[in-house]
Amino acid sequence: MLNDEEQAVCRDYKVDLQERLKKFIRMSVENTLPLKIIQDSSFFRLRMEEMKWVFGNWELICISIVLGWLFYKYLIVPKWGLGDNQEEECRRSRLQPPRGSSGWPLIGETIEFIASGFTSHPVSFMEKRKSLYGKVFKTHILGRPIIVSTDPDVNKVVLQNQGNVFIPSYPKSVIELLGESSILQINGGLQKRLHAIIGGFLRSPQFKARITKDIENSVKLALSSWIDRKNTHHPIVYLQDETKKITFQILVRVLMSVEAGEDMEFLKREFMEVIKGLICLPIKLPGFRMYKSLQAKERMLKMVRKIVNDRKIAMEKKETKDSGSPNDAIDVLLRDTGESDGTQQRLPLDFISGNIIEMMIPGEDSVPMIMTLAVKYLSDNPLALSCLMEENDELKKRKDESGEGYAWTDYVSLPFTQGVISETLRMANIINAIWRKALEDVEIKGYLIPKGWCVLASLTSVHMDEENYENPDEFDPWRWEKTGASVNSNKFTPFGGGQRLCPGLEFSRLEISIFLHHFVTSYTWVAEEDQIVYFPTVKTKRKLPIMVTPR
Ligand code: HEM
């Protein structure tokens, strides 16, 4: 039995404890409990015996359950992220889409965006907003609201595309021209399959060995024709046009084995019509640019369909014989039986024909522009040019002395030459950004990308950021000596990344290396004054006029 004094103490405890519990429950409801618990550890200074006096055993068990549950909800769940959907929603609701401005009604900030492309500093649009709102911001350009990322980590997540939450989202005119089943637009298993087939083919040593000879022949032929011009009325070589001629023929040979001649000329003419529609009003009515481009694509398709059908018939005839290594992209696409992805289905002929044309789009302009711009940067930087010449002269001497032909590995193993290519890709890549759309709300590095929003992962902004590259406006091929020139890190992504990393990466580097080698080892040149413009895509204003002389 308790005496009076003890009973009074006990009564006080009971009142005190009831008060504390009321406070506990009130704070739990108001969600301030975890903070208070840390501030007020006296809350726990009750001893078990004292509690037994006040409540008895059953009450104690109930309180333990309630306490346990509250602990779980307010301390463990937020700390360790074991939360239920509600918690997740609550956290997401606190996240905001990136800051930024929508600019003027309808046109948004398009004028400023385009104007920056005509200056010598095209990333000025991005830089201004980056300084106002941070590395990820929202804007309104080219007819739609868009979130721009200039952050290499955010770009990486967008490109890696774990969980397939981002799909390609090009401007309307590009979507119209590409068509629904283009590799650049499709998603999921079919894109992976097509990517693997084409990438596997373009990366294979057999392909590289064969294409090296083809590229050498085309480059040497073109270079000698430039010299022949010297004694005519048109001695100037417009490098931007001339490199396009070389690379277009090689690309068409790689994709469908069409040789120089009438068919090649037809394809070139029609393809030029097609790509004029890439940036235009997406109106498919006679007289409009889009209509003309779609008509040209249809004419090309007619020709490519015939090539694909003929090849299919020829393949079926010699099905039982060993058909050898594939000659071109049509071969590899026709041969694929769908075993790798378990579909066990061959690709439809129309799908192959369409994709052969659509794959010309990323491949056509990019390689000749890098060749042209490398020559431009080298013309403005005699020291870099002399280092490049020295490295390539050495290789040539070795080959002349041994009497051996060049292997593809000879070209791509020259470190300074690869540095020149990487530096050109860094400073003026033709694909300066990657367009995606979020299929659901995505949080990256604390930024919310709301469902349905378009994301522009700006590659050039990362390449021209002084946080990532010292003196980013300087052409400095030596900077790659430390990292290795062929690196594709978060901060250097001229070929994209993740599931859609350019399958033509190694082939492009090989082609550019071969061109540079034969150009600098056999010729010298004088370039006229020219400027680089960055909109709608990177090009030189005067097509880089040069006068070429044999060495
Ligand atoms: C300097 C040359 C090149 C550069 C800088 C370049 C850059 C790129 C980039 C950034 C992408 C990613 C696009 C995206 O994620 O949406 C890409 C994709 C692609 N590139 Fe290239 N490319 C070059 C040359 C080529 C060549 C020569 C070919 C063809 C033989 C080619 C074929 C492709 C294809 C088919 C894709 C789509 C891949 C897919 O979505 O799965 N590229 N390229």
Is residue 368 lining ligand 1, measured as CB closer than 6 Å?
no
pLDDT digits 0-9 by tens, 137-150: 999 998 889 999 99
- Residue 480 within a domain: no
User: What is the predicted pLDDT for the residue at 74?
Assistant: 47
Quick one: which of 66, 70, 54, 42 has its CA closest to 14? 54
Ligand 1 proximity of 503 Cβ (cutoff 6 Å): yes
Going by DSSP bridges, is the β-strand pair 144-149/523-527 parallel, antiparallel, or unpaired?
unpaired
514 shares a domain with 410: yes
* pTM for the whole structure: 0.83
Beta-carbon contacts of 387 under 8 Å, excluding residues fewer than 6 positions away, are 416, 477
Q: Tell me, yes or no, whether 244 lies in a domain.
A: yes
Question: What is the Å distance from ligand 1's center to 6 Cα?
Answer: 85
Cα-to-centroid distance, 301 and ligand 1 (Å):
21
Average confidence (pLDDT) over 375-400: 98
89 and 231: one domain?
no
Residues 88 and 226 both lie in one domain: no
The candidate with the shortest Cα–Cα distance to 369, out of 500, 525, 247, 530, is 247
Which stretch of 170-179, 224-233, 369-378 has the lowest confidence by average pLDDT? Answer: 224-233
Residue 78 has pLDDT above 60, yes or no: no
Residue 466, token pair as written in the block? 């002084």
Q: Are 58 and 201 in the same domain?
A: no
Question: For atom 35 of ligand 1, which residue has the closest CA?
Answer: 359
Task: Kindly state the average pLDDT of the residues 190-212.
Answer: 96
Statement to judge: residues 64 and 190 lie in one domain = no
Residue 49 has pLDDT above 80, yes or no: no
Name the domain boundary from 79, 94, 109. Answer: 94
Please, which pLDDT band fits residue 21 given cuts at 50, 70 and 90? very low
Nearest CA to 208 among 218, 216, 220? 216
Distance, CA of 472 to CA of 84 (rounded, Å): 46
Residue nearest atom 19 of ligand 1, based on CA coordinates: 502
Given a cut of 50, is residue 38 above it in pLDDT? Answer: no
Predicted pLDDT at 26: 53
Query: Which residues touch 112 (CB under 8 Å, ≥6 apart)?
Result: 103, 125
Residues 81 and 185 in one domain: no
| Residue 527, in any domain of the structure | yes
State residue 93's pLDDT score.
61
Range in 82-91, 98-107, 382-391, 413-422 with the lowest mean pLDDT: 82-91
Q: Are both 508 and 382 inside the same structural domain?
A: yes
Among 324-328, 329-333, 434-438, which is the least confidently predicted range?
324-328
507 within some domain:
yes
Distance in Å from the first CA to the final CA of the chain: 115
List the residue whose alpha carbon is closest to atom 28 of ligand 1. Answer: 363
Q: Indicate if 405 and 503 belong to the same structural domain.
A: yes
Q: What is the pLDDT of residue 7?
A: 60
The answer to whether position 347 is within a domain reads yes
Cα–Cα distance list, 109 to 105, 106, 125, 432 (Å): 9, 9, 9, 18
Indicate which atom in ligand 1 lies nearest the CA of residue 199: 35
Q: What percent of the chain has pLDDT over 70?
A: 81
Ligand 1 centroid to 77 CA: how many Å?
A: 44
Residue 320 pLDDT class (50, 70, 90 cuts): low
Predicted pLDDT at 39: 40
* Binding site as annotated, residues for heme: 502
Which of 332, 502, 512 maximizes ligand 1 atoms within 8 Å of its Cβ, making it the mutation to test the pocket? Answer: 502
Position 508 scores a pLDDT of 98
Pairwise CA distance, residues 477 & 387, whole Å: 10
pLDDT over threshold 50, residue 70: yes
Strand partners of residue 144: 141
Q: Which atom of ligand 1 is nearest to the CA of 198?
A: 35
Is residue 473 in some structural domain?
no
Would the CB of 367 count as within 6 Å of ligand 1? Answer: yes
Banded model confidence at residue 202, pLDDT cuts 50, 70, 90? very high
Whether the predicted pLDDT of 477 surpasses 60? yes
Q: Give the CATH number, domain containing residue 510.
A: 1.10.630.10
Structural contact between residues 120 and 142, judged by C-beta atoms closer than 8 angstroms: no
For residues 13 and 335, what is the distance between their CA atoms, to the nearest angstrom? 85
The tens digit of pLDDT for each residue in 210-262 reads: 999 999 999 999 999 998 777 777 789 999 999 999 999 999 999 999 999 99
Residue range(s) defining the domain that contains residue 64: 4-94
Residue at a domain's end among 43, 72, 94: 94
Q: Are residues 416 and 526 in the same domain?
A: yes
252 lines ligand 1 (CB under 6 A): no
- The mean-pLDDT minimum among 60-64, 182-186, 467-471, 512-516 falls in 60-64
Q: For residue 52, what are its two tokens? A: 């037994």
Q: Give the number of domains in the chain.
A: 2
3-state class (DSSP) for residue 326? coil
CA of 174 from ligand 1 middle (Å) equals 15
In-domain check, residue 524: yes
Query: Rounded to whole angstroms, how far apart are CA atoms 70 and 304?
Result: 68
Residue 331 in this model has a pLDDT that exceeds 70: yes
The secondary element (H helix, E strand) that includes residue 138 is strand 136-141
Higher pLDDT, 84 or 434: 434
Number of other residues whose CB lies within 10 A of the CB of residue 61: 11
Q: What separation in Å is there between the alpha carbon of 363 and the centre of ligand 1?
A: 6
Angle at 217 between CA 214 and CA 221, to 5 degrees: 145
pLDDT tier at 317, thresholds 50, 70, 90 = confident
Q: Atom 20 (ligand 1): residue with closest C-alpha?
A: 502
- The reply to whether 501 falls in a domain is yes
pLDDT in tens, 428-462: 988 999 999 999 999 999 999 999 999 999 999 99
Domain boundary among the residues 68, 94, 120 is at: 94
| Single-letter residue type at 128 | K
Contact 548, 232 (CB under 8 A): no
Please indicate, yes or no, whether residues 247 and 372 belong to a single structural domain of this protein: yes
Tell me what pLDDT residue 64 has.
57
**How high does pLDDT run on average in the chain?**
86
Taking the centre of ligand 1 as the mean of its atom positions, its distance from the CA of residue 366, in whole angstroms, is: 9
**pLDDT tens column, 294-313:** 999 999 999 999 999 999 99
Count of Cβ atoms closer than 10 Å to residue 20 Cβ: 14
Is the same domain home to 319 and 207? yes
50-68 pLDDT, tens per residue? 444 334 455 555 555 655 5
Q: Is the pLDDT of residue 415 over 50?
A: yes
